[in-house]
Structure 1
């Protein structure tokens, strides 16, 4: 693997340096130069920033057609494809003012359009903005986006839920490759730190056409931070403290770029004590520590762009089993606890071939998950190694047609290295081939695609047949054809409508096929079924948006029908006083949507009001409700923006989030009551002499509401979620 990465990084395409140059001036609608505009070429990970005269320069560019984006706060993003000819190229841009947030380029869909141009509705959020909402972890922030929730165990473990689907039904991408971290387990969190992550994109609905198996419910696509602009050196330091958990989060980063070479490195350390509920008691052993290290090196010239990134994440966390007992501020996890090591190595390549392009992404993930019950010797230790590849060929543009064909694959091995087995030793191999096309005319866009996938799973026998923890050998093969079609149309300038119909699939995971024992953290003995069929779904999405200078409105509706939905069903048997459950299948349907509006009243240009409502319902064919369906939520934010002499880009916000009761519950769930949380936020950029820094202050659950989220795994023990939490953060550009 190392030799392959080195060969691709140092291969002959890198030796052909080009003298192609692009320059220009960026102005506003009255031809006033704009300083600080970001100019970004995503294909080659190269950027520049305009100077006082609005001028920018980009050198050593590939010949042919490239994509370029001009973005600046307060203005519409300009995203276009332009021809780069040998020698000098000039492109002057005039940006139009916008009262709303910048229109972002969507990376998670293959054509990399602006969201306003995209056929598929994809939600985008900047991680810094999520942090300013007071998010404790990365998944906390993502769960504030409409249609996204989390299954949580305290503050350390959060599993994403997209429109009622979770676990192996939601795929996570980081650094351009799929993240595999044994996400089938209830106690297995996301395993990503927000340090060094720039933004997140959420595809809500089947994305199997682009990503294969396990994208049946949707995709979370995390974009890493960009490299520094050419000929610059940048360093930053950030510190956050949390009152509730006596916690802290420290990050330090450095990055630099020449015209061709780019480098960055970032470290983070996070530590938290047990969290406190509103009455002041602490939930024992919810403490955790996390170390995160990220680095990357990039190279680009006229023929090639390559980025090699590495991320190491170490998480040491307690598993709360005794509820509220010992009261301590210790940050050292007690038993039982988990230790998770995750190594993620990615290589993203682009080879430019005139008016076509080849993208090749390679990934290697090594995930070691150990569980300690009473001693330093692990009772459970699973090693998951994954190699994946993704190759896409962008065909030359033909008239109004853009087309892409590609292949994707994965080889994965799971090995048990301790006495206790949760799943058997096994190997998984994926292979998929797909094609998709995009056709544009006037404001209309039509996009369609077709894909075939095969997944092979083979596992080894273990133990004595019929005894807990034993597994039979297994060899299964799963095939699936999937398709999608989408249409976008502007009904006049302010109104956009999108209609998408897509199919998706998910092959059963090892736990569902082979379980034979007491499920962790429960009082249930679970038995898998090696004859389970592939889950196959068909989802219809309708999106309507209205936007003018001072008003935005959107409504999303979906209907998702799932054939052979896999779930656990009780039997009449008991084993060692544990109720026995089996994995079974039935057809199911999920439906609902999200709606929201954003008002920016004139002449109160400093005031913003945002409100959104989300709901999802899920039922099996037999009429019973599906488990782990989020409660309906109504979220409201009032935000004021201001600037003073030594305090710029300031904001103050009031957020009121009401979660409704959840009376529609699956087997082994109980109904949940409603609750309202009030959150405050304040921040901006401070300048004191030559010193400048960003400061943020958040008060979450400021009224100390006692509540239990429906998707909290501590709900069965009657343990409330976190109480009032004051978060202070500072960030310095060194």
Structure 2
């Protein structure tokens, strides 16, 4: 690996230095419709990402630019972004006049002209948020911070483990991509959260709906596209210090970053430390099936945890070449709710667990995720070549005290090569690569051809079994084109071919079980999983169209996607402790296919904006866990048995997002979502799918001003979330009552002498309401959602200039 890194560094440095050329400068002015200077406007040149800020006279100057053709982007909040193509050297100053834009729905999510332009050009429905939004909506995990967005929910277990859900689809149906590489871990597990440091994230793009053409077969439900900080300014050094705290679980966190750039070389470093205790719920006991378990001082015992995260990136940037390395190591340790793990609430040592709310006892999990990514871009006039190379290692261990079940020996044998308390272990190595060739035939037509592939090697260990060790290969190639008929009309088309192979290893119990044939009883090591080798391939395609008028925007997208079955669906045979079930795979499953229709209508006026995004999906062979009447007493701890099966499924729904500006400083808004699904065949025909999210809406009041007393950019928001009861269930699910929650947010920027400090405060579940989330696994054992939580985040940025000598 070290030789591979050194080779890439040498190649990049040699290639970059070969492009040394004479330097030029670009200057100009930016004004508004009344010929007034627009101080503070950003002027950026791409692909080198070199920029300037317009001064109070309206002038800008970008130095040290090499000869070539660039895209210039001029943006200012509240004005329409100007993009153009220019050639360097430029004989005349570049002058631009910006026009005011209408009130825009992105303003309630993120104030960013890029977000507005991206939404108008993308035929799939897209949400984009930035670092400021994440700080203002800080949750226990990245996905909890994004849960306020329309169409985005989570499947939760505990305070820090959340899986992304887009329009009711989750797990391997949603791709999480970081810096161009698909994040790969144990995403099949409900208790396996995203190994992501939300403090290290700059922007998040959420694509709702099938995005398989560019992101591969797992994007059948959508994409969470995570991006890190953009390039720093020339000869600059800067950083941030983030301090955060939460009252519900006595959370304390700090994240410190330092970044800088010296002409063509730049680097970025961050360290994050988090520590939290058991979280509190508005209840003094929980009903775990037929047993009522008391909880001490409202603390859900043994849900404490902590994280230690390191991030480092560096690279070079030249006119025709850019290359950047990203290295991260995310390490966490967190406890499982002691009364729920293994469903033995009577045997929990309450004196041990209730001694401290911050200790972590059995059962708990330790996770380490290492990631190395290289992104490079080569530019030749109208052609660009982009490459992404990635390596990941996900190492996860689950620990609990050895207790024999069924035919397991009462005393663990000393001859085995693993710790008796190691319940499960997963070690996954992933090698990924992407290549994209883009060709801008002219200002109206853009072509992309590309290919992507990965190799996954997942090993297992420990005394428990749920999925076998496996290897998986996948490869896909695609072609995509975008044509702009006019400023109003854009069409996009794409086609992709994917091929995947998966091989699972045979697995037998480490202990013997009696097998009775006629009247003879013999003892055997029972086989839980056999060798399975399956190959899958299929085509995906999509056609999208956007029509944008001055105030109206229309979009539509139709297409077909498919998804390869994962190892758990094919070969599971064990207890899922966090879903309280015994799960059995089906080696004969077909790949999942989906036919989809997405649409969007948006209207923007000076004081009012509204958007609605309906969708329709049809799955001829949707894969899901089907509950049976069986209970496995010998190997499954008495849990109900679920079998993976397939059926025809229809899904439809919509989101709505609107707000009205009553006064210049006061907005009213609403964010709503609805998903309906129905099985059209099989044993559960006529029923919905498990863990289907109920309809919900957020009614929002937002007050913001440029300045108030000593506060700059102050804001106050009140969210009143109403969630309907979920009575549309599939047996053995139980219905969930509706609920309402009030959340408050406030903050702004404070200047202490010359130092700017950003302060964000939240009060979640203001009334300490006791309610149950239908998409939480703890709902199955009657554990309510966390009680009142006051969250504070302080961000202190600092910056300076390097000596050019």
Q: For the superposition of Structure 1 and Structure 2, which TM-score range results when normalised by the shorter chain?
A: over 0.9
- Give the aligned partner of residue 238 of structure 1: 242
Q: Give 2:320's aligned residue.
A: 303
**8 Å Cα contact 1:315/1:340 also seen in 2:** yes
Aligned to 2:778: 714
Pair 1:278 & 2:282 matched: yes
Which residue does 2:792 correspond to in 1?
728
Q: Please give the alpha-carbon distance, in whole angstroms, between the structure 2 residues aligned to 1:180 and 1:38.
A: 36
Q: How far did residue 572 of structure 1 move?
A: 4.7
1:458 maps to 2:503: yes
When residues 63 and 213 of structure 1 are mapped into structure 2, their CA distance, relative to the original with a 3 A threshold, is: farther
The answer to whether structure 1 residue 317 and structure 2 residue 337 are counterparts is no
Distance 1:467 1:570 in 2: 27
How far residue 688 of structure 1 moved from its aligned partner, in angstroms, is 3.1
- Report the Cα offset of residue 103 of structure 1: 4.7
1:513 to 570, 594, 598: 570
What aligned pairs does 1:17-36 form with structure 2 within 5 A after superposition? 17-18=20-21, 19=23, 21-36=25-40
Q: Following the alignment from structure 1 to structure 2, what is the Cα–Cα distance between the partners of residues 88 and 677?
A: 60
Q: Paired residue for 1:141?
A: 145
Structure exhibiting the larger radius of gyration computed from Cα positions: 2
Please, which of 603, 607, 612 is the counterpart of residue 671 of structure 2? 612
Deviation at 1:607, TM superposition (A): 0.9
Deviation at 1:529, TM superposition (A): 1.1
8 Å Cα contact 2:506/2:527 also seen in 1:
no
Query: Could you say if the C-alpha distance between residues 558 and 92 of structure 1 is closer, same or farther in structure 2, counting changes exceeding 3 Å?
Result: same
Does structure 1 residue 629 correspond to structure 2 residue 692? Answer: yes
Aligned mates of 1:5, 1:21 — CA distance in 2: 34
Give distance in 2, aligned partners of 1:712 and 1:681. 24
* Counterpart residue number, 1:182: 186
Partner of 1:487: 545
User: Within the alignment, does 1:382 sit opposite 2:391 as a pair?
Assistant: no
CA contact (8 A) 1:469 1:517 kept: no
Residue among 331, 338, 346 paired with 2:358: 331
Choose the corresponding residue for 2:586, options 516, 519, 529: 529
Following the alignment from structure 1 to structure 2, what is the Cα–Cα distance between the partners of residues 468 and 168?
Answer: 29
SS in 1 for 2:785: coil
Aligned equivalent of 2:658: 597
User: What's 2:293 paired with?
Assistant: none
Consecutive unaligned residues in structure 1, runs of 5 or more? 107-111
Q: Distance in 1 between matches of 2:573 and 2:174?
A: 24
TM-score (normalised: structure 1): 0.94
Give 2:15's aligned residue. 13
Q: After superposition, what is the alpha-carbon deviation per residue over 1:303-354, rounded to whole angstroms, capped at 9, x for unaligned? A: 2011111111111111114169654653232211111101111111100112
The reply to whether residue 500 of structure 1 matches residue 509 of structure 2 is no
Deviation at 1:448, TM superposition (A): 0.4
Q: Give the 5 Å matches for 1:116-135.
A: 116-135=120-139
- Say if 1:63 and 1:83, in contact at 8 Å, map to a contact too: no
* TM-superposed deviation, 1:547: 0.4
User: 1:362 deviation in Å?
Assistant: 1.1
SS at match of 2:780: helix
Higher mean C-alpha deviation, range 132-141 or range 15-24 = 15-24
Measure the CA separation in 2 of the matches of 1:641 and 1:522: 43
- What is residue 664 of structure 1 aligned with on the other side? 728
**C-alpha displacement at 1:552, in angstroms?**
0.5
Q: 2:457 aligns with which of 403, 406, 413?
A: 413
What is the deviation of 1:141? 1.4
Does residue 570 of structure 1 match 2:621? no
Separation (CA, whole Å) in 1 of partners of 2:429 and 2:93: 48
The Cα of 1:467 is off from its aligned counterpart by: 6.0
Does the aligned pair in 2 maintain the 1:149–1:161 contact within 8 Å? Answer: yes
Superposed displacement of residue 439, structure 1: 0.8
* 1:350 corresponds to: 377
- Among 364, 379, 396, the residue aligned to 1:369: 396
Aligned-pair distance for 1:434? Answer: 0.5
Report the Cα offset of residue 301 of structure 1: 0.9
Contact 1:22 1:88 in 2 (8 A): no
Distance 1:546 1:113, change over 3 A: closer
Compare 630-639 and 67-76 and name the one that shifted more.
Answer: 67-76
Task: Report if aligned partners of 1:60, 1:301 keep a CA contact under 8 Å in 2.
Answer: no
Distance 1:707 1:580 in 2: 28
8 Å Cα contact 2:338-2:362 kept in structure 1: no
Q: CA deviation at 1:119?
A: 2.8
Residues 107-127 of structure 1: per-residue CA shift (max 9 Å, x gap): xxxxx9632233332111123
| TM-score normalised by structure 2 residue count | 0.86
Give the stretch that moved more between structures: 709-718 or 415-424: 415-424
SS in 2 for 1:92: strand
Instruction: Could you tell me which runs of 5 or more consecutive residues in structure 2 were left unpaired when the two chains were aligned.
Output: 284-296, 403-418, 513-523, 799-805
Do the aligned partners of residues 61 and 664 (structure 1) sit closer, same or farther apart at CA in structure 2, a change above 3 Å counting? farther
Q: CA distance change for structure 1 residues 57 and 205 in 2, over 3 Å: closer, same or farther?
A: same
Q: Deviations over 1:231-274 (max 9, x none)?
A: 21112211111111111121111111122111111111111111
Give the length in aligned residue pairs: 725
Inter-CA distance 547–399: structure 2 relative to 1 (3 Å threshold): closer
Q: Distance in 2 between matches of 1:403 and 1:6?
A: 33
